[in-house]
Structure 1
């Protein structure tokens, strides 16, 4: 019985049949030649990782006009010692979900932070005036004219201008989810928009990408620590994150 060809052999024979060099494939797929050569030789131990391997096989196969997902199934079957059919229906496990939810503070809470009405504090000058008035009135009938003269001579305070409070605008309800990113170094990327894969390849340093979906974006990062990411206009704090990560981004919905 003839031994089934390996994934690397299938890819190498397809590339040679098309008369393509590894350098030409690198330019067309954004996958470095050394990784392409490693995949062709089934030397997966020198590749960046499992997520990279599957993405490279799919992207490389599609570039050569082959069935990329079928080659990934063949690779997974070979690695697990099973037939390709046994693993063909295995889905992608999402390891982390990120939901965006922007809440607007009630305008009544502006200032105090409680939303409750609070009695304003009286100025010390007015308190002192009240105390003096009580004292003079208590002194007797003959002290009243002097008290009246005293209060008449006090300078009148100018009314304070009414403080303008700016009420925040209601949030814009987005009809899509948008992710903008910039790589500081090499990072493998695989992007699925609303269930359809739209990109799989390597980003180089200073590469910028923008991806959109109607409801959901699932993005697999090979090295998330080198990425600068903005989701629906809001920067994402990636402090402490590094290595392989899978993120799910959804659009802001009306509650």
Structure 2
């Protein structure tokens, strides 16, 4: 991650927090490997957190979650992370110009209406005009008896059943089940609806109208089911992963082999 992703104040505060976490860890005689096994954060990322080496760290939003997960393990609930302010800024997407247009009445429609009115007047004048020529009315022909010919019945036409159309979903419904501990963030329609650490066995459900973004620090322990689909892991064990689901494409990526 380039240093430019953090400002100078964030880098200095991150290094202070990293030194403090390292000091507490060593006082409690915990190795980086033990912390990694209990938090599912890779050892190299823990080392970078303690050193404040932002060049080796992922996106700031993941760093914020790792620090909280690390502080929870060391039982430091009062650790102040507010000065870091690493959470992403949520911006509203401007509407695309031309999606909704105001109804306009083209000029040629008025011309068409005027022509139709003139035509109607001309037809009405022709119908109401009196006839000048007299014509003798021919007598109606006498009816003749006609023997009806029996109709040959048509063979029945086979009608194929219409295929059943599956209704399209009107919202995204995501069910999450944790098989191991993981940090998780959920953004529904541009709003953060959850951010924290979930323990094994925890289950949660979120809904969204258009988009839903899932970000996990330990994707292999997060099983996700979208709408009525089958549950599948969000990624590999220990993997930091983010997935965006939309109403038009509510499917997860292909599970890792």
Range class of TM-score, shorter chain: 0.3 to 0.5
Normalization by structure 1: what TM-score? 0.44
Higher relative contact order (CA 8 A, sep 6+): 1
Which structure dedicates a bigger proportion of its chain to helix?
1
Normalization by structure 2: what TM-score? 0.43
Larger Rg: 2
